[in-house]
Amino acid sequence: MTTTEHLADTVENAAANPETPQPFRELGLKDDEYARIREILGRRPTDAELAMYSVMWSEHCSYKSSKVHLKYFGETTTDEMREHMLAGIGENAGVVDIGDGWAVTFKVESHNHPSYVEPYQGAATGVGGIVRDILAMGARPLAVMDPLRFGPADAPDTRRVLPGIVAGVGGYGNCLGLPNIGGEVVFDETYAGNPLVNALCVGAMRVEDLHLAHASGTGNKIILFGARTGLDGIGGVSVLASETFSGDESAGKRKKLPSVQVGDPFTEKVLIECCLELFQSGIVVGIQDLGGAGLSCATAELASAGDGGMHVDLDLVPLRAEGMTPAEVLSSESQERMCAVVEPSNVDAFMAVCAKWDVIATVIGEVTDGDRLVIDWHGQTVVDVPPRTVAHEGPVYNRPIERPADQDALIANAPDALARPSTPEELRETILKMIASPNLCSRGWVTEQYDRYVRGNTVLAQPNDTGVLRIDEETGRGIALATDCNGRYCKLDPYVGAKLALAEAYRNVAVSGAAPLAVTNCLNFGSPEDPAVMWQFEQAVRGLADGCVELGLPVTGGNVSFYNQTGSTAILPTPVVGVLGVLDDVRRRVPSGIGNEAGETLLLLGE
Amino acid sequence: MSPRIGVITFPGTLDDVDAARAARYAEAEAVPLWHADHDLRGVDAVIVPGGFSYGDYLRCGAIAKFAPVMTEVIDAAKKGMPVLGICNGFQILCEAGLLPGALLRNAGLHFVCRDQWLKVENAGTAWTTRYEPDAEILVPLKSGEGRYVADQSTVDELEAEGRVVMRYVGGNPNGSRNDIAGVTDARGRVVGLMPHPEHAIDALTGPTDDGLGMFLSVLDAVVKA
Amino acid sequence: MARVVVDVMPKQEILDPQGQAVANALPRLGFDGVSSVRQGKRFELEVDDSVDDAALAKIAETLLTNTVIEDFTVRRVES
Amino acid sequence: MARVVVDVMPKQEILDPQGQAVANALPRLGFDGVSSVRQGKRFELEVDDSVDDAALAKIAETLLTNTVIEDFTVRRVES
Ligand SMILES: Nc1ncnc2c1ncn2[C@@H]1O[C@H](COP(=O)(O)OP(=O)(O)O)[C@@H](O)[C@H]1O
């Protein structure tokens, strides 16, 4: 290796060489976005700063196309709906008070694109990521669910993707000791080439243990702990590396890096126990998970949520690969890492807990009294930015919206035209065909690969429509969770379709004997640059929010996944809705299905 | 004083809370044991619970067998202390040489979680006296590497000496030799079982409460001793 | 008949939790001096002489290896 | 520093469902002439020169292999 590789682009260098061309378009930034970064900084960004802004201002991290619509959730939530809510949209995950001093936190997130590239690892790290979100709130993760969508069951690519995704969800979740209490498996041709892997995690804590991460208190230490940082998932940012690695062999190699991350559930399991012990002993100010955008995201978010600045020394970050550039260290999506803010007097105690669990922990910086996020590398400053501009003040777009021209034709093409079974034989045949169809047949092949028993609190799981967990062994207090979405309804009418998804999850929770309490969602759509998709999105958000008002439930959090399409064909609009309910005593749960006892009476409620 | 049942936690152990709960349901005192300690804390029996110790990346149980606490378990077992290895615990006991054979990847190559019928073949071990001989019980099975293998002479010996403790009935879920779900040592004190009796102690959270018998049995065994 | 060995290893830059677990265990077991461990797969195939190198490479690449995260080598060994 | 390779293969008499699954898939994918496939593990270790053959054999035998079901070979390769 040559020595030139370490000549990182410093702030000083950026100021001195304002016209150095930068590959901002390859990193996904638009011309005006790049111009805004230059304006914020009063100079061109360094490579490391460019890497930070480009990931943090991506659709995935900044919600730039969805923000203006998601506001509607907040606007429609009344104080009454907020009654049980302890934390809502904007936090890692929503938190609700379920009584008896228990707080429950839950969230669903997508990991669609990585799961298409590498099904097993994509799905596995999807589970790993959502679990760390829940953990960062101070809660013990208790269970997972996995709403999945695939192309046609007999399509060759589904045969590649489905077994890997199911094995990945199971492989990671089983090894973490989190029961899988439900999910969905839906097939539709629009998901061929773009499967959906949504992962939900639910956790619980005592109300007084709720932790919201922020870096406050000058002098407090920033500690990175968990796995080492490697070249995982930095696919895009390797464009920058090739610049610095001017023409030598490794440049070529670096460029080909797949942007896949490999999960290590064992490390995460140990990290969970370690974090819970840290929270328990009260020696952390806050803990932030590292997910997409890695350290860029964690440092910028911690700093902008706090009241000061932050200084980080990147040389201290334990690395797994040689010759990483500062931009790569900041953007690496290596899994199973967390970042904590710790008062200096507690650092030793913190390190002792990490040592007990064999978790690597390193002080990488501290909270400063300035208002800048400053990051050094080899003694020189490579990042010097106002953290809010990275984490919260990204671009916001009012994308064009247009109801698709063919929507009326689609609606007009009603099922009335279809032939109906008219004889008992035809009816029998239709029923047999239906129950054997991929969308209705047994999910046993999938659910058998998931541990639903671990920890001994699973009261209902498959084949029930709702998962029910015991939270308190003394009182029997527990929760119910269901996720639902019919993308075909949403395609016909995204507003009503989203309401129906909510209504279905709500019903499923209610019939298990639980009182519905809160809603989360994962909004999977096509490209936001397509006005028809934006229309679907806007309608779905309004439908879901209005439905929540009618039912009196708050949306406590969610996730948006855009660009789910193959070529110009978008997936069915798929706003997956999760409803959380509470049972005073899980012994009074109602399993789904009939025929448990002889002589049962069947009643049909509603119209 | 109620008997004390130790439950070991390795990094990556998952079913320790369940094993401890099962011990409590049987009215024993559950005593947590830490992998890194050379100390059994005066317990009367030990459960090596399920999970993925050290991630099970190399081979299930391969690394856990070297933990300091296992040295103590091996010593105590040789002196006759009842030891139950469940799932990963069974794998660890085999790796540690306390039980013969090994557990390999399921013949179907997938992790399997299902409610499994078992036949109690030996109701005379420290962990099975509360069952009628030939009783059939329903408990969860959840494992990816649960296929019991041993060479022919070992299998013959186990069969001849009645050391097959439980057998799968209603279909072999993983390709185990002779449908073997669990085996015991020559004295009937150390038992390894692939399915999870600790997940079947209460019909609220498991398929049945058929598993409780194992924890009640060991109380009889240690009280008698 | 020929015997063919296909070695499949995780790519260098990719996390190898399996190898790491072994590497971490060694010092605890009293073995020092091992600085890194990587764990991969080894396949042994018995093939007819009709199977040429191109076919073997194809088998290794499409079936035995996940080329997103693994590299492979194929070699014939005498049996 | 030396590079050491440890190959661990399932014993001949032990059923190897993974190898078998590969062998069964081959004809379906249009590859004929492969009569058997066995799948084992390959470990690559970087060791100090101080680590002698006896220590390597010990590592292979006690940790990397379960000799009830597997056989192993150890060899040093130039790196
Ligand atoms: N991906 C999955 N992960 C976990 N459980 C699942 C998954 N898909 C389906 N299930 C479970 O399988 C059962 C049957 O699913 P499904 O046929 O979709 O039910 P329904 O059509 O009644 O909603 C339910 O308990 C559901 O939660």
Mean pLDDT of chain B: 96
**β-pairing verdict for D70-77 and D2-10:** antiparallel
- For residue D46, give its domain range: 2-77
Q: Max Cα separation, chain B? A: 47
C-alpha–C-alpha distance, residues A420 and A73, integer Å: 41
DSSP A398: -
**pLDDT surpasses 50 at A253:** no
A60 is catalytic: yes
The per-residue b/e assignment along A191-207, b for 16 or more CB within 10 angstroms, e otherwise, is bbbbbbbbbbbbbbbee
Q: Which residues of B touch A268 (CB under 8 A)?
A: none
pLDDT at A6 over 90: no
HEC profile for chain B? CCCEEEEEECCCECCHHHHHHHHHHCCCEEEEEECCCCCCCCCCEEEECCECHHHHCCCCCCCHHHCHHHHHHHHHHHCCCCEEEECHHHHHHHHCCCCCCEEECCCCCCCEEEEEEEEECCCCCCCCCCCCCCCEEEEEEEECCCEEECCHHHHHHHHHCCCEEEEECCCCCCCCHHHEEEEECCCCCEEEECCCHHHCCCCCCCCCCCCHHHHHHHHHHHHHC
Q: What is the mean pLDDT of residues D12-27?
A: 90
pLDDT, mean of residues A376-405: 95
pLDDT of A254 over the 90 cut: no
- Return mean pLDDT, chain A: 92
From chain D, pick out residues whose CB is under 8 angstroms from the CB of B175: 15, 17
pLDDT of residue A5: 46
Spatial separation of the C-alpha atoms in residues A113 and A96, rounded to whole Å:
30
Mean pLDDT of D2-16: 93
Please identify, by atom number, the ligand 1 atom nearest to the C-alpha of residue A180. Answer: 4
Q: What is residue A605's predicted lDDT score, i.e. its pLDDT?
A: 85
Q: Give the whole-angstrom CA distance, residue A474 versus residue A585.
A: 10
Q: Give strand ranges (E) for chain D.
A: 2-10, 34-47, 70-77
**Cα distance between residue B96 and residue A253, in whole Å:** 44
pLDDT digits (tens, 9 = 90+) for C13-72: 888 999 999 999 999 888 999 999 999 999 999 999 989 999 999 999 999 999 988 999
A311 pLDDT exceeds 90?
yes
Name the interface residues of B facing D (CB cutoff 8 Å). 58-59, 62-63, 66, 94-95, 101-102, 104-109, 149-151, 175
Query: Which chain D residue has the Cα nearest residue B176?
Result: D15
pLDDT, position A239:
67
> B56 CA to chain C: closest CA distance, Å?
8
CB–CB of A351/A344 below 8 Å? no
Instruction: For A215-253, give one letter per residue: b (16+ CB within 10 A) or e.
Output: bebeebbbbbbbbbbbbbbbbbbbbbbbbbbeeeeebee
Pairwise CB contact (< 8 Å): C25 & B57: no
Q: What does the pLDDT look like over A397-431, one tens digit per residue?
A: 999 999 999 999 999 998 888 889 999 999 999 99
Chain B hits for C29, CB-CB cut-off 8 Å, are: 66
How many angstroms from the chain centroid is the CA of residue C52? 20
Contact A76, A549 (CB under 8 A): yes
**Reported confidence tier of residue D78, pLDDT bands at 50, 70, 90:** confident
What does the pLDDT average to over B149-173? 97
- Judge whether A219 and A367 are in contact, CB under 8 Å: yes
Q: What ipTM is given for this predicted complex?
A: 0.92
Given a cut of 90, whether residue B121 has pLDDT beyond it is yes
Res A1 pLDDT > 70:
no
What residue's CA is closest to ligand 1, atom 20? A465
> To the nearest whole percent, how much of chain A has pLDDT over 90?
84
The pLDDT of residue B225: 64
Interatomic CA distance for residues A73 and A67, integer angstroms? 10
More confidently predicted of A337 and A238 = A337
Whether the predicted pLDDT of B120 surpasses 70: yes
Q: Total structural domains in chain C? A: 1
Q: Give contacts of D58 with chain C, Cβ < 8 Å.
A: 31
Cα distance between residue D56 and residue C31, in whole Å: 9
Per CB distance under 8 Å, which residues of D are interface residues toward B?
Answer: 13-15, 17-18, 21, 63-64, 66, 68-69
pLDDT band at A247 (very low <50, low <70, confident <90, very high): very low
Q: Is the pLDDT of residue B153 over 60?
A: yes
Which pLDDT band holds residue A251 (cuts at 50, 70, 90)?
very low
pLDDT band of residue A606 (cuts 50, 70, 90) is: confident
Residue C70, classed as helix, strand or coil, is: strand
Contact call for residues A151 and A158 (beta carbons, < 8 A): yes
Ligand 1 binding pocket mutation candidate from A111, A447, A481 (most atoms within 8 A of CB): A447
Task: Convert the pLDDT of each residue in A62-95 to its tens digit.
Answer: 999 999 999 999 999 999 999 999 988 878 889 9
Amino acid at A459: V
Predicted pLDDT at A243: 44
Residue A607: in which H helix or E strand, if any?
none
Residue A538's closest CA among A434, A402, A432?
A402
CATH number at residue C18: 3.30.1280.10
pTM beyond 0.90:
yes
Determine contact, residues A211/A287, Cβ cutoff 8 Å: yes
- Please provide the DSSP assignment of A112-167 as one string: HHHHHHSHHHHHHHHHHHHHHHHHHTTPEEEEEEEEEEES-TTSHHHHHHHHHHHH
Contact D17, B109 (CB under 8 A): yes
**Which three-class secondary structure state does DSSP give residue A460?**
strand
DSSP-based three-state secondary structure for A590? coil
pLDDT exceeds 50 at position A252? no
- Distance separating alpha carbons of residues B161 and A156, to the nearest angstrom: 51
Among A6, A69, A84, A111, the active-site one is: A111
Q: Could you tell me if A328 and A241 are in contact, meaning their C-beta atoms sit under 8 angstroms apart? A: yes
Contact assessment for residue A340 and residue A277, using Cβ atoms and an 8 Å cutoff: no
Q: Is the pLDDT of residue A249 over 60?
A: no
Q: In whole angstroms, give the CA distance from residue A4 to residue A7.
A: 5
Q: What is the pLDDT of residue A255?
A: 46
The per-residue pLDDT for A258 is 59
Say what the pLDDT of residue C79 is.
58
Query: Which single residue is written with the structure tokens 């007819």?
Result: C48
Distance separating the N- and C-terminal Cα atoms of chain B: 15
As a whole number of Å, the CA-based R_g of chain D is 16
Burial class (CB in 10 A: 0-12, 13-18, 19+), B168: buried
pLDDT score for A236:
65
Distance CA B10, CA B96 (A): 15
- Is the bond preceding residue B133 a cis peptide, omega within 30 degrees? no
Distance linking the first and last C-alpha atoms of chain C: 9
| Sign (positive or negative) of CA dihedral A9, A13, A14, A17 | negative
Which pLDDT score, from 0 to 100, does residue A157 have?
A: 92
Rounded to an integer, the average pLDDT of A252-281 is 83
pLDDT tier for residue A305 given thresholds of 50, 70 and 90: confident
pLDDT tens per residue, range B73-92: 999 999 999 999 999 999 99
- Write the single-letter amino acid at B141: L
Among protein residues, the one whose CA lies closest to atom 27 of ligand 1 = A182
Note whether A358 contacts C14, CB cutoff 8 Å.
Answer: no
Residues with Cβ within 8 Å of C79's Cβ and at least 6 positions away in sequence, in order, are C1, C2, C3, C46
Q: How confident is the model at residue A607 (pLDDT cuts 50, 70, 90)?
A: confident
Structure tokens belonging to residue A191:
């998901």
Highest-confidence segment of A249-258, A431-440, C15-24:
A431-440
A246 pLDDT above the threshold of 60: no
